[in-house]
Amino acid sequence: MPLVEHLNAGEAATLLSFMKGQDYRGVSYYEIIAAILYCGMRVNEAVHLTKKDVLWEKGLLVICEKMINGQVWRPKTKATRFVPIPQALRPIIAERMKTQGELLFANSKGHMMNDRTILIKLKDACSKAGIKSVHTHSLRHTFTSVSSEGNIPEVVIQEVLGHKSADMTRRYRHMRPDYLVDRFNSFDYGKKKEV
């Protein structure tokens, strides 16, 4: 299996910082990329989020089947799942809730954002920010890797991602070599661990 490109925490922060400073003529590219990075959603799930999917008091987003403009949309797994809204994402969601229309993230005409356009903006931002170029789905891998390194239990990450098996979640987790070095730096058979 080829190595999937993903960002480490520093690169993700650089990407978000760069995108936040860009003028996208009222289009929420920074906001949708932040939501994908902070929630581990698929890009298709993010573009289909409506304001009704925000359970503000509970701090959750709901990924579920819904009608948008007379069309039925179903998540890939066809199952409803709940995704926590981290504190860092709350101001973005709060601002998006004040916008016109039912979609949480919309293009300049208030319509659904295009996956391909989001990818183009992401790749352009990576290039201009001086970080490796990644695909929108790589952001889901980034979420998994960074949250794993942040000691969030695998079962919790699996639930947020909506994976049916832990094996699938493990395929999304990529440990940075320097993280592994840090974790094993004090590994020693000859010394007793202090309790």
pLDDT class for 190, splitting at 50, 70, 90? confident
pLDDT of 168 over the 50 cut = yes
Structure tokens at 118: 């989001």
Q: What share of the chain has pLDDT > 90, as a percent?
A: 53
CB neighbour burial string for 62-75, b if at least 16 within 10 angstroms, e if fewer: bbbebeeeeeebeb
Q: In the block, which residue shows the tokens 């989020």?
A: 49
Are 32 and 118 in contact by the 8 Å Cβ rule? The answer is: yes
pLDDT at 192: 63
Answer positive or negative: Cα dihedral of 46, 79, 56, 12. Answer: negative
Helix (H, G, I), strand (E, B) or coil at 60: strand
Are 15 and 146 in contact by the 8 Å Cβ rule? The answer is: no
pLDDT of 8 over the 60 cut = yes
Give which of 22, 28, 41 is closest to 142, Cα–Cα.
41
CA dist 68 to 17, 110, 117, 147, Å?
31, 13, 20, 31
Crossing angle of helices 29-39 and 115-129, rounded to 10°: 90
Q: Which of 16-25, 34-43, 65-74, 167-176 has the lowest mean pLDDT?
A: 167-176
pLDDT of 4 over the 90 cut = no
pLDDT at 26: 81
Q: In the block, which residue shows the tokens 């573009």?
A: 47
Which residue has better confidence, 103 or 188? 103
Are 147 and 157 in contact by the 8 Å Cβ rule? The answer is: yes
pLDDT at 186: 67
Q: Give the pLDDT confidence of 32-83 residue by residue, as tens digits.
A: 999 999 999 999 999 999 999 999 999 999 999 998 888 899 888 888 899 9
- The model carries a pTM of 0.83
